[in-house]
Amino acid sequence: MVRLAMLVVVVFTLFDASARTRVPVQSPPADVGSQLLREPPVKTALDRLKSTEPQLLDEQIRLCEIPAPPFKEGRRAEALRQSFQSLGLKNVRIDRAGNVLAERAGTAAGPHLVFSAHLDTVFGEDVAIRMTRAGSILKGPGISDDCRGLAVLLGVVRALEEAQIQTPGPITFVGTVGEEGLGDLRGVKELFNGELKGRIDRFVSVDGAGLGITHIGVGSLRYRVTFKGAGGHSYGDFGLANPVHALGRAMARIADLEVPTLPKTTFNVGRVGGGTSVNAISSEAWMEVDLRSSDRAALATLDASVQKALDAALKEENDRWENRGRLTVSKTTVGNRPAGRVSADAPIVQAAVSVTRALGLPVSLDEGSTDSNLAMSLGIPAITIDGGGKATGTHSTDETFDSTNSWQGTQRAFLLALALAR
Ligand SMILES: [Zn+2]
């Protein structure tokens, strides 16, 4: 609601010649998918997308063979920048976070659609990035998540350019950095808080394989928790508070927390470490904890419970030894993805459903943790769509992409871009 009100204010300032003019965003009609299919240039473009899918798969492999470890997406970003440029997009640039942005003008001022996919992978620099292909199966780290999304972006741009389709609203195509893990959505955070702040009407991320439509953004909080103390000899210094023991107490308390099944809310201690040797009272012990929920309030409640568990574990261990070798605990946030959701009835979701049905494809409304989380948390209409095909082993080095009928995903993304840029 706040956002709608803002748009109205902008309309009244249209006569300020220096301002970028904005128009109120109208919802796509309920049958936008079948309407689009009746337009001859659209029909031609869809046929072309199907016949050129093999070339798109080549591009998917080409981009994926360029490593893009967390925080080191630069080389793949440069390759995407060149592709955007050669396809005829304008004002192609890399922002200070490392996102690649490219513009396609509309015939009107709005709605402004951002159509994106993420550049980064979960794989570190030590992982060999090699793609193989056997029949319809493409295999290699990141081939589905999210080299598929990047390829689909290129397919959509090419189809628009070749068919010379003009959309009323401008489209900014973006390859984002920092979607995975500790990247913590830093790419979209820059996108929505940087130069495009307040100028994005609709946001779509194409992420991974399949045909799902993600409209619920699962939020997450991640901590690295470290207990510290004096440390000493296990026998000679017995009687000192022990960071490893405190960590154990904390884990036991977290393991016993009760969380709702609906909205789904979860906790996980994913990594632990610390200690010096079997006969030493360690001076340090740490763990990494991941908390998730599709509901903001439930996540906040869980977070509060975890904080209490950590503080209680610390007190318990210090009290046990009457504060000898008194411990401290530090909690460093290593991830904060806001939860968000767009109603299944919202125009952006309905547009995605409409184009999916128009192509005769099954509709699946999902939840997930993606770049769209940030947009959703800001109240901006946003969804994440799968890019077609099928994936196995996502986030593993044996990741595959089955390209059987994957053109359906490219076609669907293309129709959705058209539906949302008008
Ligand atoms: Zn992804």
Per-residue pLDDT band for 184 (boundaries 50, 70, 90) equals confident
Which residues, at least 6 apart from 166, have a Cβ–Cβ distance to it below 8 Å? 106, 107
Name the nearest CA neighbour of 46 among 153, 148, 149, 159: 159
CA of 188 to the centre of ligand 1 (A): 13
Q: Do the Cβ atoms of 299 and 260 come closer than 8 Å?
A: no
CA of 371 to the centre of ligand 1 (A): 8
Other beta carbons less than 10 A from residue 254's beta carbon: 21
CA of 179 to the centre of ligand 1 (A): 7
Which residues, at least 6 apart from 157, have a Cβ–Cβ distance to it below 8 Å? 84, 87, 89, 102, 104, 173
Q: What's residue 19's pLDDT?
A: 37
Q: What is the pLDDT of residues 53-99, one digit of tens each?
A: 999 999 999 999 999 999 999 999 999 999 999 999 999 999 999 99
Q: What's residue 23's pLDDT?
A: 52
Q: What is the pLDDT of residues 199-209, one digit of tens each?
A: 999 999 999 99
Would you say residue 22 has pLDDT above 90? no
CA of 394 to the centre of ligand 1 (A): 9
Cα distance between residue 111 and residue 396, in whole Å: 38
Would you say residue 378 has pLDDT above 90? yes
Q: What's residue 295's pLDDT?
A: 92
Would you say residue 148 has pLDDT above 90? yes
Q: What's residue 24's pLDDT?
A: 61
CA of 66 to the centre of ligand 1 (A): 16
CA of 153 to the centre of ligand 1 (A): 14
User: Token match 């997308």: residue?
Assistant: 49
CA of 209 to the centre of ligand 1 (A): 9
Per-residue pLDDT band for 7 (boundaries 50, 70, 90) equals very low
CA of 344 to the centre of ligand 1 (A): 22
Would you say residue 21 has pLDDT above 80? no
Would you say residue 8 has pLDDT above 60? no
Q: What is the residue-averaged pLDDT of the chain?
A: 93
CA of 340 to the centre of ligand 1 (A): 17
Q: Do the Cβ atoms of 381 and 348 come closer than 8 Å?
A: yes
Q: What's residue 232's pLDDT?
A: 96
Would you say residue 272 has pLDDT above 80? yes
Q: ∠ CA(335), CA(336), CA(341), 5° rounding? A: 135
The mean pLDDT of 113-125, rounded to a whole number, is 96
Would you say residue 381 has pLDDT above 60? yes
Q: What's residue 195's pLDDT?
A: 86
Which residues, at least 6 apart from 284, have a Cβ–Cβ distance to it below 8 Å? 226, 227, 228, 229, 231, 243, 274
pTM: 0.85
Q: What's residue 25's pLDDT?
A: 73
CA of 327 to the centre of ligand 1 (A): 39
Name the nearest CA neighbour of 422 among 14, 5, 26, 6: 26
Q: What is the pLDDT of residues 89-114, one digit of tens each?
A: 999 999 999 999 999 999 998 899 99
CA of 62 to the centre of ligand 1 (A): 18
Would you say residue 6 has pLDDT above 70? no
The mean pLDDT of 150-159, rounded to a whole number, is 98
Q: What's residue 4's pLDDT?
A: 33
Structure tokens at 281: 């009272």
Dihedral in degrees, nearest 10, Cα atoms 164, 165, 170, 171: -90
Q: What is the pLDDT of residues 215-241, one digit of tens each?
A: 999 999 999 999 999 999 999 999 999
